[in-house]
Structure 1
Amino acid sequence: MMIYNITLVSQERDWGKLEYCRKRIRCTIAAGESFSQDYLLQLPKKILFPIMAYSVMTHWMLGEALQAQEAIWLENSNGRYVEHSKYMITYAAYPLWIATFLILLMTGVCWWAYTYRREGFIPQMYGSIRTLCAATTQLDDFPSNGVQWGDLGQGQSFRHAGLAAEDVMKIVPNELYAGTSPDLQENRA
């Protein structure tokens, strides 16, 4: 859950930067100089490797903190030997406290990642850019210097926003984007 939430936060931050600066879209499916393919995994190394080390340390600490011991004994009953076994859970205090702290830290990071809200006007891009990159392996409409998200200008009835290779304008707050105006809805009725 923590890795999933951190992956979403990382992608939102990565794609949210498109509103403020021009950059190449990070895509591991489509190849070419128009895309940033700096890492093949969903997370960059600077985020993924510490999470992997944290996961290994937490699991190892849990293994050190809690251990099962089996006691086996033979009982001589009426000339028959009966084997008995009993499992006992033992724990080590310091590893248990450290494992508890690590799990509480993971819970805090999960809560932060779950409640993360990106600022700006760009909509959530997780699905649309992922779909765009998965649509084909030959996307050649993107320039090598990258794209930017912003206001593409005024259409007939409403403004348009989206990714563009050309210069874009800043988003105008409280304007109608990619929808229909109330006047058009009344005319259709």
Structure 2
Amino acid sequence: VGGLPKTFVYPTITANARIGGFVLPFDIGFSCMYMNFSNLKTVSDGFGIRFFNVGGDVRYALLKGEGAWPQISLGVGYYYIGGKVSFDKDGVSAGIDYATHTMFGQIQVSKTFVFVTPFVGFRGIFSKSNADWSWSVTDARIASAASYIGTETSGKGSANSSFADSFIPQIYGGLGLKISFFAINLSGSYDFKNSIWGGDLSLRFQM
């Protein structure tokens, strides 16, 4: 669709919680995020986006980091991502619905020094995705011209991927800061399969 910017930045809000670690050797985390804008005029009039993400993970402590020993943990998790991107203006519409199921396993090594915790880890990710797209032209003049020259005025299709062919190895690392009841995490990651760098900055309340 012409006129859309190649990139744009839009803030989102995510809720997450984690419980455990008092007397249990494992903890459980949960997170979710939802965004729904039917008409993002900051991008283009008629452009809409819906995004939903929910999931959780369990981490088990192999070593608790006592004395000079580091903290070593194993974790597994599952996340679901779904949404839709659409455009509808001046008799032309297009959209894609997508859904991704992601499972992962990871090992992490960290060590706490007073209130600073550097960490590094390796993560293996498996995902299964499907996407359905469609487009149509309803403007009478455009449809008439398309019919005259033998061009289609609508179409649809789909694409799918399975867990079997989607393994992604990823390394990550960063710093965690614990200040009173607040925890700040700054991390980065690298996707070896797709050569993609990523980053994350989070702030959460922690007891």
Range class of TM-score, shorter chain: under 0.3
Greater helix fraction, Structure 1 or Structure 2: 1
Larger gyration radius, structure 1 or structure 2: 1
- Name the TM-score, length of structure 2 as normaliser: 0.23
Greater strand fraction, Structure 1 or Structure 2: 2
- Name the TM-score, length of structure 1 as normaliser: 0.24
